[in-house]
Amino acid sequence: MADKMQARYDVIVIGGGPGGSSAASYLAKAGKKVLLLEKETFPRFHIGESLLPYNRTIFEELGVLPELEKMGFPRKKGAQFHLGNGRKNIKLVFGQGAFTREPEAFQVERSIFDNILLRHAEKLGVEVRENTVVIKTYSGETNVAVEAKTGNESVKFEADFLVDASGRSNFTGNQENLKVAHPELKKMAIFGHFHGVKLDEGDKRGDTVIIRLENKWFWIIPISAVKTSVGLVMDKDEMALSKKTGAEIFEETWKTTPVMKKWMEEAELAGNIQTTTDFSYYNAALASPRTLRVGDAAGFMDPIFSAGVYLAMYSGKLAAETLNKTKSSDNSVNRHFKKYEKRIFDSMKFYWKMVEQFYTTPFMEVFLEPREKYRIASAVNAALAGELEGGWGMKWRMQLFFWIVKMQAKRPLLPRITFR
């Protein structure tokens, strides 16, 4: 089949998830001619249903907030962290605390949410081609060329710049051999949607609930008035060694976790139990000539703190701002690209550190005993809401928090916890 060369664009975006649709929307709002290529036909299933409060700022800027409000998604005003044995818990309320500027988030069914964002991008002028898989990209002196397939038909497109938002497919990162896997965080997630999960009443009804076992954790995320997403994250090796199916491990684990019974006793599975890999990685470079990587195509980390969608949209926004500042004659990784890369690496590094620490006991001991001295608890609260631009005031408090965790490992300042 002959290749068809199409019109030339300012920017081509690979992927129509939250990272791709936000980058494309911001670019279109700035008057750019944008083509977005998505291999699936939306709506399509996706995991990753708990958003962070700071996502709301982006929804507002894009003009999509009223539409999301209308959908009646559950409102997440806080997050709860429990030990599986029921001995300790903490309930964070985003609206409380000295630094948080956004008090609540949505919990979403991603097929609906991602489709709203993609259709909104279209309304803003983005040309969206679904069922179109990108198979090769080339970066030249004056352009990028993209080869894709729509069914059996091969198509080629050209643009000044490329945004890779291909998620964990990590299209250009793999093509350029940039992927750096985390040496330890090789996890599996086992999850399903349930009816009849017994949620808290009142403001806490929409909370994300995390239940921490010794080397595993559960999430409980209400995603509609009747449906709740429940998942278990564990080491890949442990799952492989057990020789059990995901569904067997999932059921066995919640039934032997005292705290889970409260939520799950009357729960009924709606659909299937699914499994997916959950291996943390990042790309050694987020900018290549004429190309920026956003969202999971920049890096992916274990989802414990629900930061994935927010980081995808935040990096989508910054990538668009970067390209809006870059001249089409600029053919290398310029200073704007370098600045983008640094800002996204800094944001990712912060959540990586939180995730790595989450799997340690001293971190949990400090985290479950919040202290407002020097407003450290407020800083942690704001960080978990998505505050990435809190300046030095946030930075030194978070450094102090991590220092306390380090001290706790050496000599207990706060009560020890046990998982059994």
Ligand X SMILES: Cc1cc2nc3c(=O)[nH]c(=O)nc-3n(C[C@H](O)[C@H](O)[C@H](O)COP(=O)(O)OP(=O)(O)OC[C@H]3O[C@@H](n4cnc5c(N)ncnc54)[C@H](O)[C@@H]3O)c2cc1C
Question: 27 — phi, psi (to 5°)?
Answer: -65, -45
One residue of 10, 176, 296, 387 binding ligand X per CB under 6 A = 296
Q: Residue 283 interacts with ligand X (CB under 6 A)?
A: no
Q: Residue 175 interacts with ligand X (CB under 6 A)?
A: no
Q: How far apart are CA 176 and CA 199, in angstroms?
A: 46
Q: Residue 37 interacts with ligand X (CB under 6 A)?
A: yes
Q: In whole angstroms, how close is the CB of 5 to ligand X at the nearest point?
A: 18
Bridge-based pairing of strands 34-37 and 78-83 is unpaired
Q: How far apart are CA 260 and CA 167, in angstroms?
A: 31
Q: In whole angstroms, how close is the CB of 404 to ligand X at the nearest point?
A: 27
Which of 189, 262, 263, 273 minimizes the C-alpha distance to 222?
263
DSSP one-letter string for 133-190: EEEEEEE-SS-EEEEEEETTEEEEEEEEEEEE--GGG-HHHHHTT-EEEEEEEEEEEE
H or E segment at 24? Answer: helix 18-29
| Tally of CA atoms within 13 A in the half-sphere of 65 that contains its CB | 13
Q: In whole angstroms, how close is the CB of 188 to ligand X at the nearest point?
A: 9
Q: Residue 385 interacts with ligand X (CB under 6 A)?
A: no
| Helical residues (DSSP H) of 256-358, grouped into ranges | 258-264, 308-325, 335-358
H or E segment at 27? Answer: helix 18-29
Q: In whole angstroms, how close is the CB of 362 to ligand X at the nearest point?
A: 25
99 vs 217 by CB, closer to ligand X: 217
Q: Residue 222 interacts with ligand X (CB under 6 A)?
A: no
Q: In whole angstroms, how close is the CB of 133 to ligand X at the nearest point?
A: 4
Q: Residue 74 interacts with ligand X (CB under 6 A)?
A: no
Q: How far apart are CA 334 and CA 322, in angstroms?
A: 10
Q: Residue 188 interacts with ligand X (CB under 6 A)?
A: no
One residue of 9, 16, 34, 381 binding ligand X per CB under 6 A = 16
15 vs 97 by CB, closer to ligand X: 15
Q: In whole angstroms, how close is the CB of 259 to ligand X at the nearest point?
A: 19
Q: How far apart are CA 126 and CA 68, in angstroms?
A: 19
231 vs 362 by CB, closer to ligand X: 231
Q: Residue 102 interacts with ligand X (CB under 6 A)?
A: no
Q: Residue 386 interacts with ligand X (CB under 6 A)?
A: no
116 vs 405 by CB, closer to ligand X: 116
17 vs 206 by CB, closer to ligand X: 17
State the residues that interact with ligand X by CB under 6 A.
14-20, 37-40, 46-51, 133-134, 165-169, 171, 189, 276, 278, 295-297, 303, 306-310, 312
